[in-house]
Structure 1
Amino acid sequence: MLVGLMLLFTAIVLLNQWSQKESMSSSVPMTPPAAKQGMLDWSNLYTDQEESIPLDGEWEFYWRQLLEPTDFQAAHTPVSNLVELPAPWTNYSDNSGGFLSSEGYATYRLRILLPQELSEGAHPLALYPKSIASAYRIWINGHLVGGNGIVGTNRISETPKSYPEVVYFQPRTDWNEIIIQVSNFSQRNAGIWQHIELGSADSISWTRILHVSAQSGIVGIFGVMALYYAFVFWNRKKETSALLYSLLCMAVGVRTVVLGESTALYLLPRLPWEWAVKAEYISVAMTALLLILFINREYPAEAVRQVSVVSGVILPGCILLFLMTPAHVYTYLLTPFTWGVLFPALLYTLYIYLRSATKRRKGAVSSMIGFLFFMAFALNDMLFYTVHLPTEDMLSIGLLVFLLTQAYNLSSRFSRALHESEQLSLQLQETNQHLEQIIEERTRSLRRTNAELQEANQKMSDAELFRTRLLSNISHELSTPITSIKGFAKALRDGIITADAPKYVNRIYTRSVMLERMIHDLIDLTKLETHQVQFRMQNVYVIPFMQELFLKYETDVQANGIQYIMDLPAGSDLLTTGSEDWLVQLDPIRMEQVLSNLISNALRFTSPAGIIHVNLRLTEAPETEKGWMACICVKDTGVGILPEWQERIFERFEQASPPSVQDEHKGSGLGLAICKEIMHYHHGDIGVSSKPGSGSEFCFRLPAWKGRLSPHDKP
C-alpha cells in the first residue's frame, strides 16, 4: 500500500509538471529563453497576447541594499550578484561560502526586451507576482507600480504583507526595467520564491479573478459540507463523527482561504498579515487533530489509545504555540512540525484504515481510497511549502475526494438501513396480515356503529335542547296569561262578577288566543335557536320579489283606514344604468314572515288615518363581501318607541306597548326576536329608528349584487 501511495504521489507530481510545460508551450509556440545575467531578450519571440510568460532565470541581486531606479542611472552603478528565480534567498550563498539568512533585505533587477506585438501594443501589460516574502515594492520603467506592506531594514521598520497582486504598466519599445525591493524579518520564507508571470493586463486580470473565484468556490463547498454535517449532529447528538467531520471541513476551508490566492486578504485587505499566517498554521494543526479524533470515532476497535493521548497533548500545544508567538518564531518550526507531527498523523490514519479494511469494516475500503488521495496531496503541500517541490497548493483537491468517499459511505449506510427496515417491515406485514384483516373488519364495524351512535346522539341532543328550552320558556313566560285566565274564570264561577260577565268572558277568550299564539311563536323561536329549521335558500330578483310581497298586504292595511305607500327604485338610475338586475339570496317563506311581522306591528300601533310607508333601496357596503345591501324599511306614524326600549324589543318577551294599547292588540313579544334570528340565517341584520309620538321605522338588510339568474336558479 505504501508503494501504491508513492506511485500515486509521483504521478501527481509528473502530471503537475507536464501541465506546466503544456501551458507554457501552448502560450508560447517557441520555448521562451530564460533570463541571463539579469537580461531577458524576447525581441525575436512570437507570443499570444492572451497568454502569460514566467519571468524565470538569472536576475540581478543586491543583498542588503534597497535600490531605486535613480541608483542605476548614476555614473557608478552598484555591483550585483546573479541569482536564479524563483527561489528563496536562503538558497543563495554569501561571500563566506555559507547561505544567506532569512532575515534581511535586498533588491532584484531584471531588464526585458519584449516582442514587437507586446511592446507596441495599445493595451498595458501586467505582472502577477504570486508570493514575495514578506514586504516588497515594484518599480517598472522608473515608476513605482505596486507592492505589499512596508519594506524596512529591520523588524521594527517593516510591515509584512504578502499575497498575490496584479501590477500594471505601459511597456516601452526598448529595454523595460523591473526593480523589486524585498525585506523579510517576519517568517521563514524570504524573497521571490514563486513564479512571476508577465502578460497583457486583461489576461493577467482574468487569471487572478479566475483563481480567486475557483478558490472561493472550493471554500464554499467546504463551508456547505461543514454546515451539512453540523446540522446532522444538531438533529442527532449521537453522531459525534458528523461534528468532527464538520469541524474538519471548516479547518481545511480556513487554511484554503488564507493560502494560495489568499482570498481572505484579497477580500479583507484590512486583515492583519500576522493573523492570516496564524490562521494558516492553526488550521493545519486543527486538521491533523480532528482527523485523528474522527478516525478513532469511526473505527474504535482499531484505534490506538496511546496515539490519541499523545496527539491530544502535542497538537493543542502546537496550536497554543502558534497563537502566542509571532510569525518570525513559529514559522521556523515548519519543517519539524511538518515531518515530526503532521506526517506521523497521516501515517497513523492510514494505519487505521488499513486495519479496518483488512477486517472488512463497512465503508473502510472506499474511505481508505479517498484518504490515499488526501494523503498524496497533503505530501505534495508539505514538500511545496518546505521548498522541496515546484508544484502548487493542492490539499483542498485531496480533501474534496476524501469528502466524496465519506458521502458515499454515508449514503451506503442510509441505504443499508433502509433496506433492512424494508425487510423487517415485509416480514412484519406477512406475520400480521391475518390480524390486520380482522382488525380492519372490526374497525369498519366500529366506525359504522360509532357513526350511527353519533347521529342518534346528535338527534337526542337537539331534541333534548329543544325540549329543555321549550319547557323553560313555557314555564317562565306562560304563567302570567294562565294566571289571568284562572282569575277571571274563578270570579265568574263564584258569582263575584255578574254585571260585566260578557266583558270578562271576552277577556278570557282574548287571553286564550294570545296564549295560543305565544305557544306557536315559542316553538318557532326555539327551533330557530337550536338550528332545527331547514332554510330553502335561493337567488331571486329582489325588486319584483319585494313588490309582490308589498302588494299582498295592501288590502289589509287599507281596510283599517290607514294609507299604504310603496316606494320601489324601479325607475332609478341605479337600476337602469346596467344590463344586470339586482339579486339577493333568501328563503322566500321566511322573508315573507319577517315583512309580515313588521307590517302587523305597524298596523297594531298606528291609528286610523295614519300612514304606513314601505321602502326598498340599494346602498353600497364596501365592508361586505358582495359590496351592496338591499335595505327594506317599514315606517309608520304610530306612537313610537322610547330610546331605552329600542335595543330591548328584539329580545324575547320584550314589548314597548304604551298603556293605551288594548290587550287584544298586544302581541306575544316574540315576533321581533324571530325576525332577528331569521335575518341572522340570511347574513343580514335588522334594526329600528324611532321617536316617541312620531312613529317608528324598522329596517332589515340583505347582501345584494348585480347579476343574472342561471337556468337552475329560476323557479
Structure 2
Amino acid sequence: MNFYSKFFLILILSIVPLHCYRNLTPKNQKESILDLSNVEWESDVPINLSSNWEFYWNELLEPSDFQTLSLVSVPVVDFRPWTNLEITKEKFPAKGFATYRKKVKVQKKSDPIHLELYFSHLYTASKVYINGKLEVEKGKVSLDESQIDPDRTNTSIHIESNQEELEIVLQIANMSFYHGGPRSEFLIASPKQMLLFKSKSLLVEIFVFGLIFGSALYHLFFYFINRKQRSFLFFAFVCITFLIRIPFLNSKSYELFFPVLSFDFQTNLLHFVNIATFLFSISFLSELFKPYNYPYVRYTFYIGAFFACFTPLTPVSIQHYLNLIYIIVYLVLFLIFSIFLLIKYRNEAQGFYFMAMGLFSLAVFCFLAISLNYYGVQGGLYLIIGYLFYVVFQSASLSQYFAFAIESRANIEMRLHKESLNALSKQRAEMQLMVHDQLGANLTDLKVYVERLISGLNKSLNETFGLENINQRVVSIIQSLRNQLLYIEDLNLIFENFVTGIQLTLLRRYSDVGREFEFVPSDEFVSYFSQIRITGKNQSHFLNIFYMLYEVCTNDIKYGKGESIWNLHYSNGEFLIHQKNLIRNSELIEKVNPELKSIKQRLVQLKGRLHVQIEAGIYELRIYFPEDRSIHF
C-alpha cells in the first residue's frame, strides 16, 4: 500500500463516528418509551437516547402536567434542533421554547441503581427533570423571551433510583441563536462507563492539543533562528489559534482550569479567534508564495476582518448569523485561493502534495463539522481532527520547503565558491606566469650578464668588484623565486586535494636541502580529507593546518638531519601528526624549543596540543587536534 492509499484510508477511518457509544434503532417510530431493562450497565458502553422524544412546541410543561395532559397525537421526534423538524409544512422558528419527554425502562425490578446522563450544550437554555424532580438548569428558561439566559456548557446528571423506569422531561428555550432545541447525543450509562467515555474523548483532545502545541513551538524556534522565514512565524500563530479553540470544543476542557464562561463571552471569543486564524493563514500563504504577490486577496481578508470585528455590536438576533456567514465565506475563499496557488505554482511549490493533503483534510473536516453542528450533531471532535491533519501535513510541507531552501542556498554558495576558487586560481596562474616571464627573465638575464663579466675579467678585478658574491646572490634570488612559484602551485593543489598538496609541498622543501622524506598518511586520514570540500567557511581551518605543518617542516630543516618521517592518523574525531628525525645538536634543540611558539599559536586556534620528546639524538613531535565538526555544515 503506497503513501496516498494509506492517507485516504486514515481519512476514511477518521470520518467514521469517533465516539464510543451505541445507537439504538427504535422498533416503533411513534413510541417514546424505550426498554433498556436487559442492558448490563456496568459493562455496556453508553447508549444514545437521541431518537423518539415526545415534542410539545411553545409549551414549558412540568412533570406534573403530564398526569392531566391528553397525549393523543403527540409528535415523536429525534433529539435534534426544532429548526430542522418538519412535522408540519411550516418550519419552526429559532426563537421560542418547547418541552421534550421520554421514558426509559432501565431495569426489570425495583432495585437501587446508579446511572449517569450526559449531553453537550443545547440551544440555548434548558431544565432537566428526572422522575418529577428538577435535576439541573442550564442558563435560565422562561416564557418571557427577555428573561431567557443562554448557556454553553455540557451537562452530567447522576441518577440514584430504585424505580424500574425513568421519566426524562427536558425544557428548552432560545431567543438569540440561529438554532433552537436539543443537539448532539443524549447518553445514558453507568458512572464507570460514562467516565471511560469522557476520558477517551478528553485523551483525543489532549493528544491533538499536544501535537499542535509542539508544532507551534517547533516553528517558532525555526523562526527565531532564521528571522527571514516569516512563514514559520505565521504558521505558528495559526497553530496557536487552533490551540485556543480546542478547549472550547467537544469536552469543554477549559472548565477544568477556569470558571465557566458565559454563552456570549464564548461566542465573541471564538469569533475573534476565527478572525485571527484567517488573518494569520492568509499571511502564511502570502509569505510562502512571496514572489507571487496578490494584494487584492489579502485586502479582501483584511476588510472582512475589519467588519467582522463589529458583529458583536449588532443585535443578538442577527449576530450569530453574521458570524456563521463570515466563517463559511472566508473559509471557502481561503481554500480556493490556496488551491489556486498550489495548482498555478505547483512546480515551484515545494511540499506541494503535503500542502494539498492538508488543505483537503481541513476542508473535509471543517465542512463536515459545520454541517453536523448545523443539523444538531456534535461536530467538535471532527473539527479537532481536521486541525490535526492540517497542522501535520502543513508542518511536513514547511519542513520540505525549508529543506529545499537550505539546499538551494547551499548550492548557490557552492557555485559562488567554485567560481571564486576558479577566479583565484586563474589570478594566481596569471601572477605566476607574469612573475615567471618578467621577473624570472630579467633575473636570468642578470645572471648571464654577471657570468660573462666574470669570464671576461681577470681574477683581481673579479675580487675587487665582488662579482662571485653578486652571482651567488642572483642564483639565490632565482632559487627563492622558483620556490615561491612552486609554493603558489602547492596552494592551488591544496584546494583540490589537501593531503596530496601537503605531501608535495613538504617533499619539495626537503628535496631542496638534500634530505630524504617519508610521508605515511593512514587510510582514515586520507578518507576524511577526501570527503571534505574546502569552502569559504572552512578555508581558514584548513589553512591553519597547512601553515602549522609548514612550520614544523621549517624547524626540522633548521635543526634536523637525515631522513624525516611523518605519520598522519585520524581516529574517533581526533588527528595525530607524528614527526620524527635525527637532530644535529641536542643542546641547541633544547635551547630553541621556544621556536615552537608559532606552532602552539596555530594549535590554540585548532584547539589542539603537542608533545615533544628528545632521546638518543632523536627528535619526536606529536601534535593532537580534534575534528572541527562545524565545517560539515
Q: Give the structure-2-normalised TM-score.
A: 0.61
What is aligned with 1:438? 546
Shift of 1:211: 2.1
What is aligned with 1:85? 78
**Could you tell me which amino acid in structure 1 is paired with residue 262 of structure 2?**
P
Residue 39 (str. 1) matches residue 147 (str. 2): no
SS at match of 2:98: strand
Identify which range, 213-222 or 292-301, moves more after superposition: 213-222
The correspondence for 1:277, drawn from 244, 267, 273, is 267
The correspondence for 2:250, drawn from 260, 276, 283, is 260
Deviation track 1:458-506 (CA, whole Å, cap 9, x = no partner) reads xxxxxxxxxxxxxxxxxxxxxxxxxxxxxxxxxxxxxxxxxxxxxxxxx
Cα 1:94–1:300 change in 2 (3 A) is same
Contact 1:66–1:105 (Cα < 8 Å) also in 2: yes
**Could you tell me which amino acid in structure 2 is paired with residue 241 of structure 1?**
S
Shift of 1:450: 6.0
Cα 1:366–1:222 change in 2 (3 A) is closer
Q: Distance in 2 between matches of 1:14 and 1:289?
A: 31
Shift of 1:231: 3.8
Deviation track 1:255-305 (CA, whole Å, cap 9, x = no partner) reads 222122222245423322211112222222322232222112101244533
Deviation track 1:365-401 (CA, whole Å, cap 9, x = no partner) reads 2222222222221221232233287755422222322
SS at match of 1:397: helix
Contact 2:148–2:173 (Cα < 8 Å) also in 1: yes
SS at match of 1:311: helix
**Could you tell me which amino acid in structure 2 is paired with residue 92 of structure 1?**
L
Residue 331 (str. 1) matches residue 439 (str. 2): no
Contact 1:139–1:146 (Cα < 8 Å) also in 2: yes
Mapping of residues 284-433 of structure 1, within 5 Å: 284-318=274-308, 320-325=309-314, 327-357=316-346, 359-387=347-375, 393-412=381-400, 415=403, 417=406, 421=410, 424=414, 426-428=532-534
SS at match of 1:288: helix
The correspondence for 2:56, drawn from 40, 57, 62, is 62
Q: Distance in 1 between matches of 2:212 and 2:39?
A: 43
SS at match of 1:36: coil
What is aligned with 2:170? 180
What is aligned with 1:132? 122
What is aligned with 1:105? 97
**Could you tell me which amino acid in structure 1 is paired with residue 533 of structure 2?**
Q
Q: Distance in 2 between matches of 1:382 and 1:409?
A: 26
The correspondence for 2:149, drawn from 145, 149, 159, is 159
Please, which runs of 5 or more residues in structure 2 have no aligned partner?
A: 418-531, 556-591, 601-633
Greater relative CO, 1 or 2 (CA 8 Å, sep 6+): 2
Contact 2:80–2:377 (Cα < 8 Å) also in 1: no
Report the structure number with the largest CA radius of gyration.
Answer: 1
Shift of 1:333: 2.9
Contact 1:60–1:81 (Cα < 8 Å) also in 2: yes
SS at match of 1:60: strand
The correspondence for 1:141, drawn from 126, 131, 148, is 131
SS at match of 1:152: coil
Mapping of residues 555-566 of structure 1, within 5 Å: none
Q: Distance in 2 between matches of 1:38 and 1:419?
A: 68
Deviation track 1:156-212 (CA, whole Å, cap 9, x = no partner) reads 312211222211112444332001111111311211121101111221133223323
Mapping of residues 398-547 of structure 1, within 5 Å: 398-412=386-400, 415=403, 417=406, 421=410, 424=414, 426-428=532-534, 435-442=543-550, 449=594
Deviation track 1:338-379 (CA, whole Å, cap 9, x = no partner) reads 44332122121122122232x243222222222222222122
Cα 1:438–1:86 change in 2 (3 A) is same
The correspondence for 1:241, drawn from 202, 219, 231, is 231
Contact 1:24–1:53 (Cα < 8 Å) also in 2: yes
Residue 114 (str. 1) matches residue 102 (str. 2): no
Residue 250 (str. 1) matches residue 240 (str. 2): yes
The correspondence for 2:22, drawn from 24, 27, 34, is 24
Please, which runs of 5 or more residues in structure 1 have no aligned partner?
A: 456-715
Mapping of residues 648-663 of structure 1, within 5 Å: none
Q: Distance in 1 between matches of 2:16 and 2:28?
A: 17
Deviation track 1:548-570 (CA, whole Å, cap 9, x = no partner) reads xxxxxxxxxxxxxxxxxxxxxxx
Q: Distance in 1 between matches of 2:15 and 2:111?
A: 33
**Could you tell me which amino acid in structure 2 is paired with residue 188 of structure 1?**
Y
Deviation track 1:95-117 (CA, whole Å, cap 9, x = no partner) reads 7x42111111111111112243x
Q: Distance in 2 between matches of 1:108 and 1:71?
A: 13
Contact 1:36–1:57 (Cα < 8 Å) also in 2: no
SS at match of 2:178: coil
Cα 1:270–1:361 change in 2 (3 A) is closer
Shift of 1:307: 1.3
Q: Distance in 1 between matches of 2:542 and 2:280?
A: 53
Contact 2:21–2:46 (Cα < 8 Å) also in 1: no
**Could you tell me which amino acid in structure 2 is paired with residue 233 of structure 1?**
Y
**Could you tell me which amino acid in structure 2 is paired with residue 223 of structure 1?**
F
Cα 1:453–1:100 change in 2 (3 A) is closer
Deviation track 1:614-657 (CA, whole Å, cap 9, x = no partner) reads xxxxxxxxxxxxxxxxxxxxxxxxxxxxxxxxxxxxxxxxxxxx
SS at match of 1:223: helix
Contact 1:59–1:84 (Cα < 8 Å) also in 2: yes
Q: Distance in 1 between matches of 2:203 and 2:18?
A: 21
Cα 1:162–1:361 change in 2 (3 A) is closer
Contact 1:356–1:364 (Cα < 8 Å) also in 2: no
SS at match of 2:52: strand
Identify which range, 430-439 or 404-413, moves more after superposition: 430-439
Q: Distance in 1 between matches of 2:114 and 2:8?
A: 40
SS at match of 2:22: helix
What is aligned with 2:453? none
The correspondence for 2:186, drawn from 188, 196, 221, is 196
Cα 1:112–1:13 change in 2 (3 A) is farther
Q: Distance in 1 between matches of 2:243 and 2:73?
A: 43
**Could you tell me which amino acid in structure 1 is paired with residue 339 of structure 2?**
L
SS at match of 1:198: strand
Q: Distance in 2 between matches of 1:451 and 1:299?
A: 57
SS at match of 2:546: helix
Contact 1:274–1:327 (Cα < 8 Å) also in 2: no
Deviation track 1:445-464 (CA, whole Å, cap 9, x = no partner) reads 79964666999xxxxxxxxx
**What is the aligned residue count?**
439
Shift of 1:336: 3.1
**Could you tell me which amino acid in structure 2 is paired with residue 396 of structure 1?**
I
Cα 1:94–1:52 change in 2 (3 A) is closer
Contact 2:41–2:189 (Cα < 8 Å) also in 1: no
Q: Give the structure-1-normalised TM-score.
A: 0.54
Q: Distance in 2 between matches of 1:377 and 1:80?
A: 40
Q: Distance in 2 between matches of 1:76 and 1:407?
A: 61
Cα 1:429–1:223 change in 2 (3 A) is closer
SS at match of 2:99: strand
What is aligned with 2:476? none
